[in-house]
Structure 1
Amino acid sequence: MNDPRLVDAYEAALFDLDGVVYLGPAPVEGAPEGIAALRELGVQVGFVTNNAARPPQVVVDQLTGLGVEAHLSDVVTSAQAGARQLAEALEPGSRVLVVGTQALADEVEAAGMVPVWSREDRPSAVIQGYDPQLTWPRIDDACHAIQAGARWFATNTDSTRPTDVGLVPGAGAQIAAVRVAVTQEPTVAGKPCTPLMEETMRRMGTRQAIFVGDRLDTDVQGAVAVGMDSLFVFTGAHGKQDLLQAPEDQRPTTIGHDLRSLLEPARRATLEGEEARCRDQQALIVDGRIHLDQVPTGREEQLDALWAVLQLAWDTGADAGVLDRLDQVQ
């Protein structure tokens, strides 16, 4: 009898986008085929992004252009979650200074607020999201509005964004520029805070989901915060050394090279004292250092070995320099 697939335990699979489904203009290898296979199995699919710069329809258009089936109801953005926060915190018709793109302003308006573009409009709140065209005068405007008493909201605080040519500064870097000049902290919608994940589950009508992400401090921590299982993949921002150093609230349920791991048996490890095993790979502690009984050459076997090593490292704090020998895992 074949072992059940990882996804068989869930009604829905939720995906981060950058670094999981695509990198810049190109799909992550295997992502279109993997998502198509999930849909054929009847798994509900959702795309969850901290990127507030683009309208959901643009996200749908990009996905379909990359060969990934997507519908407007499948996409949930931090702009949508941030707009819901505004609607819950402010009176209908309140003026909100938008320090982001038109897509964010559209969500603010859809939530019953009035988007404005200047502090001179005396906004009740400021909402900030990633904007690749953000200028210093607009940052100054946000600072002055907050200093004058406006409440500060942010769609997300990702410090970086993965692209097909490397990492670049993200919304968190832009928000940090405002933070140095104000005494208020923003109310944040996106991962790892819970509003975006809660909004996603509300829209999709399920809580029996697994989240697939490439960042520990947003994707995995966001899933942990709402009690959701997570699959960490190695196609984006973080890697094995980040996993080794991850605090407890950033440790995934399981790992895989890419999202197609959902269609494979779950990678699980057992831990007994100073020994851990994942499938055929065994890790053990000798003289305070973690060793492998063998160093496999294949990528999947190295991922098994990594998962075993991580259990010991997280449990005991033992030296895990052996990770450097797993050269098929970044």
Structure 2
Amino acid sequence: MTATGAAPVDGYDLVIFDLDGVIYLIDRPIPGAVEAVGRLRAGGTSLAYATNNASRRATEVADLLTGMGVPADADEVLTSAAAAAAVLAERLAPGTPVLVVGAEALRAEVRAVGLVPVAEADEKPAAVVQGYGPRVGWVDLAEAAVAVRAGAAWVATNTDRTLPSPRGPLPGNGSLVAALRTALDRDPDVVVGKPQPGLFSTAAARVGAARPLVVGDRLDTDIEGARRAGMDSLLVLTGVSTAADLLAASPAVRPSYVARDLGGLFDPAAVVRLPDVGGTDPARDTSVDPAGADGWRLTGDGDRPRLSGAGATLTALRTLCAAAWSGRSVQGVRPDGDAARTALRELGLPTD
């Protein structure tokens, strides 16, 4: 549970949600998401949605959410597509051609800021903007490569390697950026979306929030972006990042809290506050003792430490994080007893 016994949402004046892997998977709501958002709205908490997915405009995202039973307004939605178009508009004169690699939503955002979306390098674009689109193919990447080699600036909406789906992780925009990076032997000039803090800071500024909470499923985008923006964060285990990823997390991508799902926003027993090992925030609980924390003990040295005791599965994860983040190996941790075996299994960690 949290250090004070209170739910994380208490005391925050804005909750900023990632979408894919947090609210929905592709086009299916994640169990409990509709109820969680409805409860926040009923309580008067300001909401925002910040997504790296550049395949939908804000109005389309709002319509999708509303159709799932999550009423949303377009001005609550921030997309990497709109952010990328804004960056281009700051750098280029109106009417400048921009080669768009991505979905129609990205082309529409480029058009909306007064630039001209094109599809071929022969149209001499001043920039290439690359975002996720389910129909992006070799021809699109080839045109982008030619344009960048001819001097066009290269702007990526995001570099997420994967995106979550009901069938498991699928290639994201970062995988397509990697293909172009390999062909060009260089990185994009600008990456706009998370983990850059812009989407989060814009969301907070829109409503004048003083204490926002970011909720995401990815350590390398949502959580790192929150830390860069100076905001607390909650990692939910309904999308990309796993318990194993959390144990291996560097300080730059460690969340304030972890929960299985959005129920952790309200139920103190369904969330834990993670230690700020080696951190400088006096408000963060740093008192976790891996030798006997929250009913769990981690004993033994070397490559195969042992987890014993009993308690909530998430507090076992907190104990393991405290050890791992303090420099102690938890690789191949073995269960000592049925309770530990069950906890490790529920966390998706090896049990033998």
Q: TM-score, normalised by structure 1?
A: 0.91
Deviates more, 1:316-325 or 1:40-49: 316-325
Name the CA shift for 1:118/1:277 in 2 (closer, same or farther; >3 Å).
farther
Match of 1:281 among 268, 280, 295: 295
Name the CA shift for 1:285/1:89 in 2 (closer, same or farther; >3 Å).
farther
For 1:108 and 1:201, the matched residues in 2 are separated by 24
Letter matched to residue 193 of structure 1: Q
For the pair 1:52 / 2:57, whether they are aligned, the reply is no
Name the CA shift for 1:290/1:20 in 2 (closer, same or farther; >3 Å).
same
1:149 match: 151
* Paired residue secondary structure (1:4): coil
Letter matched to residue 319 of structure 2: A
Per the TM alignment, residue 181 of structure 1 is displaced from its structure 2 partner at its CA by: 2.1
Query: Map of 1:186-201 to 2, 5 A cutoff?
Result: 186=188, 187-201=190-204
1:241-263 C-alpha deviation (Å, 9 max, x unpaired): 11111111111111001112111
For 1:96 and 1:202, the matched residues in 2 are separated by 29
Could you tell me which runs of 5 or more consecutive residues in structure 1 were left unpaired when the two chains were aligned: none
Name the CA shift for 1:66/1:143 in 2 (closer, same or farther; >3 Å).
same
Name the CA shift for 1:274/1:303 in 2 (closer, same or farther; >3 Å).
closer
Letter matched to residue 327 of structure 1: R
For the pair 1:246 / 2:257, whether they are aligned, the reply is no
Per the TM alignment, residue 17 of structure 1 is displaced from its structure 2 partner at its CA by: 0.8
1:28-81 C-alpha deviation (Å, 9 max, x unpaired): 110000111111111111111110011222212221221112111111110011
For 2:71 and 2:45, the matched residues in 1 are separated by 13
* Paired residue secondary structure (2:9): helix
1:71-94 C-alpha deviation (Å, 9 max, x unpaired): 111111100111111122223332
Query: Map of 1:9-158 to 2, 5 A cutoff?
Result: 9-158=11-160
Contact 2:17 2:49 in 1 (8 A): yes
For 2:186 and 2:96, the matched residues in 1 are separated by 20
For 1:317 and 1:21, the matched residues in 2 are separated by 34
For 1:173 and 1:124, the matched residues in 2 are separated by 24
RMSD: 2.2
For 1:305 and 1:198, the matched residues in 2 are separated by 33
Contact 2:289 2:322 in 1 (8 A): no
Letter matched to residue 272 of structure 2: R
Per the TM alignment, residue 114 of structure 1 is displaced from its structure 2 partner at its CA by: 2.0
Name the CA shift for 1:250/1:208 in 2 (closer, same or farther; >3 Å).
same
1:273-301 C-alpha deviation (Å, 9 max, x unpaired): 853666x33334433565444144xxxx1
For 1:20 and 1:323, the matched residues in 2 are separated by 30
Name the CA shift for 1:259/1:250 in 2 (closer, same or farther; >3 Å).
same
* Paired residue secondary structure (1:210): strand
For the pair 1:216 / 2:219, whether they are aligned, the reply is yes
For 1:24 and 1:163, the matched residues in 2 are separated by 6
For 2:295 and 2:310, the matched residues in 1 are separated by 9
Contact 1:290 1:321 in 2 (8 A): yes
Contact 2:290 2:322 in 1 (8 A): no
Name the CA shift for 1:287/1:9 in 2 (closer, same or farther; >3 Å).
same
Letter matched to residue 164 of structure 2: P
Contact 1:276 1:311 in 2 (8 A): no
Aligned length: 324
Contact 2:234 2:257 in 1 (8 A): yes
Contact 2:306 2:334 in 1 (8 A): no
For 2:6 and 2:20, the matched residues in 1 are separated by 28
For 1:11 and 1:145, the matched residues in 2 are separated by 45
Letter matched to residue 212 of structure 1: V
* Paired residue secondary structure (2:20): coil
* Paired residue secondary structure (1:318): coil
For 1:219 and 1:152, the matched residues in 2 are separated by 23
For the pair 1:267 / 2:272, whether they are aligned, the reply is yes
For 1:81 and 1:51, the matched residues in 2 are separated by 11
Per the TM alignment, residue 135 of structure 1 is displaced from its structure 2 partner at its CA by: 2.3
* Paired residue secondary structure (2:309): coil
Provide the identity percentage: 43
* Paired residue secondary structure (2:50): strand
For 1:272 and 1:43, the matched residues in 2 are separated by 30
Could you tell me which runs of 5 or more consecutive residues in structure 2 were left unpaired when the two chains were aligned: 276-284, 336-340
Per the TM alignment, residue 219 of structure 1 is displaced from its structure 2 partner at its CA by: 1.1
For 2:127 and 2:210, the matched residues in 1 are separated by 31
For the pair 1:294 / 2:296, whether they are aligned, the reply is no
Contact 2:291 2:299 in 1 (8 A): no
1:301-327 C-alpha deviation (Å, 9 max, x unpaired): 101111122012101323353377322
Letter matched to residue 133 of structure 1: R
